[in-house]
Structure 1
Amino acid sequence: MSPTIQSLILSSLATGTIITMASQSWIMAWVGLEVNTLAILPIISKNHHPRATEAMTKYFLTQAAASTMILFASTLNAWHSGQWNTMQLTMEPASTLLTLALAMKLGLAPAHFWLPEVLQGSTIMTALIITTWQKLAPMAILIMIHQNLPTTTLLVLGLTSSLWGGWAGLNQTQLRKIMAYSSIAHLGWICIAITMNKTITILTLIIYILLTSMMFLSMNTNHSKTMKDLSTMWTLSPTIPTFILLTLLSLGGLPPLTGFLPKWLILQELTTHHLMLIATLLAFSALLSLFFYLRISYTTAITLHPNQTTISNKWRQKKYKYSKLISTLMPLTTIMIPMLPIMF
């Protein structure tokens, strides 16, 4: 792909998200989502491979169906209220349908089946865009209209996503599929936070993007696609496995790492609202996710894949370069909790 075309596509990707975030009309929000969807399709299929074409087709069909539901729900609401304003969501069937459509766009369970397959057919950096930037526009709509959304539907979607994301990730060995189920589980936590506190929702989303970006960038340093690839990474750079270990433990929500912060705040908010059953189930779902994070951590940091004697010193002979962005993100993924008094 030529640099001119690539810059045009990335500009369209950013423009679509910004249009959706800044829109006060359902029509413009829908237009922004469509621009966002159309811009990501060439990025997914830029590798001329059947898996990439299949991933692009699945992504397009799912997002097109969700966009159709959004347009239908907004038209239904406009017919009832006489306004296209996003804040005038007064019709209950329209709000429920809109919630389900946005859940499909985000990849929340039970409308999540497209996400692992699309990530598996994409490159690592494309998977990074899909799991981070592509979540911003639908999440911005949810946050803007959270007061008019059905609370029960959001709680059920969030709880189902967190449980299914943890459960389905247990049997995976492909890193992109594991990160897909991790994304589903974290989006479930964010979905539950929307019903209670907007500030905690935004904080959880920011931390999720930081941790996911750090993990994908670390995987991209030596193009790791399976757990076996991680076990040989230390021969190239001993620093990167350490970064991955801390990031995985942070994703699992172990204190005192950054990932513990959103889980702690959400569980505290749930107990304040006397939703003890949901808080208990969420805590159990976090244990499911923690298990496969620890499995990858064990493979990365403790297990040594059989190698020749000369390979063990490869990192001393050649200076292995990794992104400076990794060095920037690493402190944020581990030591953000001491910054909590500054942020609030």
Structure 2
Amino acid sequence: MSEYVFAVLFSTLGAGIVTVFASSHWLIAWIGLEVTTLAILPLMAKDYTARTVEAATKYYLAQSIGAAMIVFAALSNAWISGQWTINELSHPLPSILMILALSLKLGLVPLHGWVPEVLQGLKLHTGMILATFQKLAPFALLVQMQHLHPQLLAGLGFLSILWAGLAGHNQAQLRKILAYSSISHMGWMTVILAYSTPLAYFAFIMYLLMTFTLFQMFNLSTATSINMLTNAWSRSTMVLGLVPFILLTLAGLPPLSGFMPKLCATEELTKQGLIFLVTCALLVTLLSFYYYLRLTYAITMAAFPNAYPGCTFWRFLEKNKIVPLSLAMSASISFAPITPILLSLLNS
């Protein structure tokens, strides 16, 4: 795919996201979601292999079902109340159906089945777009519906955290582990979204930064499985040395940046009197902490079975690929001290 075609598709993807952000009408929001879906499909199938085409087909079917549910919920609301405005979705039946449709697009449990299968069939740079920027539009719509059914949102979020922690244990493919990591983080965002919008924004920003960095790092090392990570140091010794910190940041280990969203979410949920919910969520998060430790062990303490006899790869890497990645890694690791400043900006 040429750079011009990629620029057009990526610009179309951004235009669809902006359309959803600016819309207050369900029909316009649905058009924006469809534009983002149609823009990312050529990016997913651009290599034109059996696995990428299969992943693009599964993604198209899942998103089509979600779009049909959105249209049906909007039509039902218009039939009942005569309103097409997003904020006027007040009837229980259309509102619950709309939340489930957006949960399908975000990949929340129990509507998550397409996420690991689709990410497994994609290249890492395309999977990064799917796991980060493609979630902006449905999450923006979900934010506007947070006041309708907070218990439903909290339940979907907790199930996502629980299932991601359990299902990620027996995975050996990095893309599936990243898929379950995405489901777990979206679960945390959904749980806190029902009670504090600024904290949900903060968690989403941190998720975008950390996930973007990790995808790009695995793309640099050309690793697709845990066994291949044992030889990742030969690609870039200096940059790969920071990958364990990124993994522990995603796990939420203090004092790294990923710990701050969970700390703020725990404090807010405790203030709301949901001590049992936040305790269960924290205990379940320890399950997902296990496969982050597996990846950290593979990079730092495991050795590749066969030594590579040639020159190390890092001598031939271009600096223009490493410098932006190093900046993103440093920001995602050391973001914790400016958390109060960011939260004050989001609250204002």
**TM-score per shorter chain, which class?**
over 0.9
The separation in 2 between residues aligned to 1:141 and 1:202, in whole angstroms, is: 13
Tell me the residue number matched to 1:192: 191
Unpaired runs of at least 5, structure 2: none
Alpha-carbon spacing, 1:317–1:216, altered in 2? closer, same or farther (3 Å): closer
**CA apart distance, 1:341:** 2.8
Tell me the residue number matched to 2:105: 105
The separation in 1 between residues aligned to 2:74 and 2:176, in whole angstroms, is: 33
TM-score, length of structure 1 as denominator length: 0.96
Identity of aligned residues (%): 39
Alpha-carbon spacing, 1:108–1:25, altered in 2? closer, same or farther (3 Å): same
Alpha-carbon spacing, 1:27–1:300, altered in 2? closer, same or farther (3 Å): same
Tell me the residue number matched to 2:160: 161
**CA apart distance, 1:277:** 1.7
The separation in 2 between residues aligned to 1:73 and 1:319, in whole angstroms, is: 51
Tell me the residue number matched to 2:44: 44
3-state SS in 2 of match to 1:170: coil
Deviates more, 1:266-275 or 1:159-168: 266-275
Contact 2:220 2:235 in 1 (8 A): no
Tell me the residue number matched to 1:260: 259
* Amino acid across the alignment from 2:26: W
Tell me the residue number matched to 2:125: 125
Contact 2:150 2:195 in 1 (8 A): no
* Amino acid across the alignment from 1:191: T
Q: Does 1:314 align with 2:312?
A: yes
Contact 1:238 1:315 in 2 (8 A): no
TM-score, length of structure 2 as denominator length: 0.95
* Amino acid across the alignment from 1:47: D
* Amino acid across the alignment from 1:16: G
Alpha-carbon spacing, 1:319–1:145, altered in 2? closer, same or farther (3 Å): closer
The separation in 2 between residues aligned to 1:209 and 1:20, in whole angstroms, is: 18
**CA apart distance, 1:320:** 6.0
Deviation per residue, 1:235-285 (Å, 9 max, x gap): 221123222111000000000100000011111111111112211111112
**CA apart distance, 1:56:** 0.7
Q: Does 1:221 align with 2:247?
A: no
Contact 1:230 1:241 in 2 (8 A): no
Deviates more, 1:302-311 or 1:156-165: 302-311
**CA apart distance, 1:3:** 2.8
Q: Size of the alignment, in residue pairs?
A: 342
Give the CA RMSD over aligned residues.
1.4
Superposed counterparts of 1:1-344, under 5 Å? 1-147=1-147, 149-308=148-307, 310=309, 314=312, 318=316, 321=319, 322-343=321-342, 344=344
Contact 2:237 2:314 in 1 (8 A): no
* Amino acid across the alignment from 2:276: L
Alpha-carbon spacing, 1:93–1:194, altered in 2? closer, same or farther (3 Å): same
